[in-house]
Amino acid sequence: MKRHPILTSVLLLGLAIGLFLWTKPASGQASAVAPAATPPLPVSAEPQYGTCKASSDGIGKTYQGREIAQVMGHPGIGWLERTEREKEEAPSKAIAALKLAPDAVIADLGAGSGYYTFRLAPLVPQGRVVAIDIQPEMLDYMKEEMRARGVKNVQPHLGSVTELKLPDASLDAVLMVDAYHEFDHPAEMLGSIKAALKKGGRIYLLEFRAEDPKVPIKPHHRMTEAQARKELEAAGFRFLENRPDLPWQHLLVFEKP
Ligand SMILES: C[S@@+](CC[C@H](N)C(=O)[O-])C[C@H]1O[C@@H](n2cnc3c(N)ncnc32)[C@H](O)[C@@H]1O
């Protein structure tokens, strides 16, 4: 498979950053994350949010008592594409657990390099994966991968920090992998997800387990089941289950009633 030289450099740079910084156990060191692509609005204009002293990998803005994490910048693509990921996260197991219909339309929200997108696409041959991100560089990477892999049923899509920018009731499911904790407007994003999902549509939320001290990911990039439920239930989603057999992550399933 032929890769563009710039993409290869980005891949290698990101791999180095990720290995050196991100995967170290949490302790307030610098991280492989970059500032959010769009600066947040002044918090005073957003009553549902609070403020706190920004921690090294947080943005100083809180939602439901949780400090929101910094966005991982596109130089982290190499880390997202690391080969150890199958051992660490068992993505094939997580994806098999979704039991998608072949004609399902699923959004990979916060798709990054498309690591999950390109593993989902073969499972929905008559449907499609809408791969949404706020960083155009991530979409460029995915477009290059689509060409290289000959994949047709992936739709790279530029969202914003507050909305998916998709038609109402156009999705059967939304998958978010290691992304939701970075949304700097989670309340607005949950409202937008709700509008874009069909009735009975599912959210599959994969987040590193904050309850588990053995998970070597910085604290702001992990979530407890209780916190995730608090936030998604407040937005009107029904919690269905937590599938407990992934090495590092929760796989939380919610439904739009
Ligand atoms: C840590 S990466 C995870 C990427 C991918 N899900 C994976 O697991 O390989 C998080 C991604 O979420 C994206 N993101 C952050 N806020 C977003 C938002 N409001 N809407 C869509 N994507 C967002 C970031 O740009 C970044 O690419």
Q: Determine if ligand 1 sits within 6 Å of the CB of residue 139.
A: no
- Report the 10 Å Cβ neighbour count for 165: 12
Indicate whether 67 pLDDT > 90. yes
How many domains would you assign to the chain?
1
Q: How confident is the model at residue 244 (pLDDT cuts 50, 70, 90)?
A: confident
Q: Which of 9-13, 25-29, 131-135, 179-183 has the lowest mean pLDDT?
A: 25-29
The rounded distance, in Å, linking the Cα atoms of 78 and 88 is 15
- What is the domain range of residue 186? 5-255
* pTM for the predicted model, two decimal places: 0.87
Query: Is residue 71 classed exposed, middle or buried when 0-12, 13-18 and 19+ CB atoms within 10 A define those classes?
Result: buried
pLDDT of residue 38: 53
**CATH code at position 93:** 3.40.50.150
Distance 48 CA to ligand 1 centre (A): 22
The rounded distance, in Å, linking the Cα atoms of 105 and 107 is 7
Indicate whether 35 pLDDT > 60. no
Query: Is residue 124 classed exposed, middle or buried when 0-12, 13-18 and 19+ CB atoms within 10 A define those classes?
Result: buried
Q: Determine if ligand 1 sits within 6 Å of the CB of residue 112.
A: yes
Q: Which helix (H) or strand (E) holds 209?
A: strand 197-209
> Which residue in the block uniquely carries the two structure tokens 């702001």?
220
Tens of pLDDT, residue by residue over 129-169, are 999 999 999 999 999 999 999 999 999 999 999 999 999 99
Q: Determine if ligand 1 sits within 6 Å of the CB of residue 72.
A: yes
Q: Catalogue the E-assigned strands of 14-147.
A: 49-51, 58-63, 66-69, 105-109, 128-133
> Which residue in the block uniquely carries the two structure tokens 């008592």?
65
The rounded distance, in Å, linking the Cα atoms of 228 and 107 is 19
Distance 78 CA to ligand 1 centre (A): 14
Tens of pLDDT, residue by residue over 199-239, are 999 999 999 999 999 999 999 999 999 999 999 999 999 99
